[in-house]
Amino acid sequence: MINRIYLDNAATTSLDPEVLNEMMPYLTTYFGNPSSIYSYGRETRLAIENARKTVAKLLNAHPAEIFFTSGGTESSNTAITAAVRDLGCKHIISSKIEHHATLHTVEYLSKQGEALLSYVNLLPNGQIDMAHLEQLLAGSTEKCLVTLMHANNEIGNMLDIHAVGNLCKKYDAVFHSDTVQTVGHFPFDLRNTPVHFITGAGHKFHGPKGVGILYINEQIKIKPFINGGSQERNMRAGTENLYGIIGFAKALELATQHYESDSNYIGDLKFYMKEQLEKNIPGVTFNGDVLGKSLYAVLSASFPMTDKSEMLLFNLDINNICASGGSACTSGADIGSHVIHAIYGNTNTVTVRFSFSKHNTKAEIDTVIEKLKSIV
């Protein structure tokens, strides 16, 4: 087997063997439809409700506030659309560096004439301009939905979720935060966090793909986004992803249990790579608030544009190094990263996102640096 170096953990992570072990009985022995009333169905229904209780306890929420979905995209679509159609939000405030699951949804609702759309200004380091956010809220004549991500998936910038939530409370706005990059990476205390909706996806923290959560604060009531059945307490039709739900709960349990040691280890890797890039690659720069409020698992680096660096991701790939890109250059078919473009405009650089997990090592980073020296 090819010995690959995987540095794209913000895209997806490998499935933890303990999580797979927890899922296996529900792929084989316990296969009943949770909606069935006989013993096979009751067994799987109980497993789902136990998973819900586990997730709720770990996030310090009530089990009735946790809904299982197919992932972060469905969860964000549900929350944003419901805020407009069910909760009376006719003015959406977002940013131009959100994940496309949010961006495309708010753009669609705006184009359909269902809500006004405003974008909050960004500071030079890509952080949200909180003063401008308050201006937008204070100046709005309509009820607002604020949708801002907790950690940016490309550059790692982290939002002060409590500060934004308190602003929303002050102006009676609904607050949705895309927390896909932080659920499973940070401890949450939702009973003491002023937020109406958050999202999570199992595959971001060594759980299975195709399963996520939507937290809906118990103080609000919305209508289903997907119709056709009574699953998820009439909120999300469709036969439940049984083994995905079991895996999500186990992965979140493990991530919470090992948060302190894993986050310290991964954070050390990130800063080791930053140091090695600075020492060995002339002209390298870093995107976002790297030394401030930043996700410990993500490092976004920009390399000067040259004939060699233009093919950087391709060359990393043929050297068995997995990372993802994003550049504000708009030449050819590559329209570049909307995040880099929104913060820095058009830059003559090539951007690579390196994202780390507990399985990466400093030896791997040393290998990547050596390859980069020859490629760049």
The per-residue pLDDT for range 339-348, each reduced to its tens digit, is 999 999 888 8
pLDDT value for 30: 94
Tokens of 167: 């602003």
- Final residue of a structural domain among 236, 257, 278: 257
Q: Judge if 284 and 202 occupy the same domain.
A: no
Residues present in the chain in total: 376
Per the structure, the count of domains in the chain is 2
Whether 73 contacts 98, CB under 8 Å: no
Q: Judge if 82 and 220 occupy the same domain.
A: yes
Respond yes or no: is residue 89 known to be catalytic.
Answer: no
Q: Judge if 215 and 280 occupy the same domain.
A: no
Q: Judge if 214 and 313 occupy the same domain.
A: no
Residue whose pair of structure tokens reads 């709005």 in the numeric block: 140
| Calpha distance 37→78 (Å, rounded) | 29
pLDDT value for 336: 78
Q: Work out the number of other CB atoms within 10 angstroms of the CB of residue 251.
A: 26
Residue whose pair of structure tokens reads 């030079």 in the numeric block: 124
pLDDT value for 305: 86
Question: Where residue 355 sits, what CATH number does that domain have?
Answer: 3.90.1150.10
pLDDT value for 22: 98
Q: Which residues contact 162 (CB under 8 A, 6 or more apart)?
A: 193, 194
Q: Which of 210, 215, 214 is nearest to 242 (CA)?
A: 210
Set 89, 144, 168, 329: catalytic member:
329
Q: Would strands 144-147 and 212-216 be described as parallel, antiparallel, or unpaired?
A: unpaired
Q: Judge if 178 and 305 occupy the same domain.
A: no
Q: Judge if 147 and 251 occupy the same domain.
A: yes
Q: Is the dihedral of CA 121, 126, 131, 136 positive or negative?
A: positive
Give the start-end residues of each E strand in 125-190: 144-147, 174-177
Q: What is the residue range of 288's domain?
A: 5-13+259-375
pLDDT value for 7: 98
Q: Judge if 142 and 190 occupy the same domain.
A: yes
Would you call 1 helix, strand, or coil by DSSP? coil
Tokens of 368: 């990547």
Q: What is the pLDDT of residues 226-272, one digit of tens each?
A: 999 999 999 999 999 999 999 999 999 999 999 999 999 999 999 99
Cα atoms found within 13 Å of the Cα of residue 242, Cβ hemisphere only: 21
Q: Phi and psi of 119, rounded to 5°? A: -110, 130
Q: Judge if 300 and 370 occupy the same domain.
A: yes
| Calpha distance 204→328 (Å, rounded) | 25
Q: Judge if 219 and 330 occupy the same domain.
A: no
Question: Where residue 236 sits, what CATH number does that domain have?
Answer: 3.40.640.10
Which helix (H) or strand (E) segment holds residue 203: the answer is none
DSSP symbols for 59-87: HT--GGGEEEES-HHHHHHHHHHHHHHTS
Q: Judge if 270 and 235 occupy the same domain.
A: no
Cα atoms found within 13 Å of the Cα of residue 250, Cβ hemisphere only: 21
Q: Judge if 34 and 154 occupy the same domain.
A: yes
- Final residue of a structural domain among 213, 228, 257: 257
DSSP designation for 14 = P
| Calpha distance 236→24 (Å, rounded) | 25
Q: Is the dihedral of CA 357, 360, 362, 366 positive or negative?
A: negative
Give the start-end residues of each E strand in the chain: 5-6, 66-69, 91-94, 116-119, 144-147, 174-177, 197-201, 212-216, 285-286, 298-304, 321-322, 324-325, 349-355
Whole-structure pTM value: 0.95
Q: Which residues contact 349 (CB under 8 A, 6 or more apart)?
A: 285, 302, 303, 304, 305, 327, 328, 329
pLDDT value for 347: 81
Q: Judge if 311 and 299 occupy the same domain.
A: yes
Tokens of 196: 């109406």
pLDDT value for 328: 43
- Final residue of a structural domain among 205, 222, 257: 257
pLDDT value for 335: 61
Q: Phi and psi of 246, rounded to 5°? A: -60, -45
User: From first to last of its 376 residues, what are the pLDDT tens digits of the chain?
Assistant: 568 999 999 999 999 999 999 999 999 999 999 999 999 999 999 999 999 999 999 999 999 999 999 999 999 999 999 999 999 999 999 999 999 999 999 999 999 999 999 999 999 999 999 999 999 999 999 999 999 999 999 999 999 999 999 999 999 999 999 999 999 999 999 999 999 999 999 999 999 999 999 999 999 999 999 999 999 999 999 999 999 999 999 999 999 999 999 999 999 999 999 999 999 999 999 999 999 999 999 999 999 888 777 789 999 999 999 999 864 443 334 567 899 999 998 888 899 999 999 999 999 999 999 999 988 8
Tokens of 116: 């006004």
Tokens of 61: 């929420």
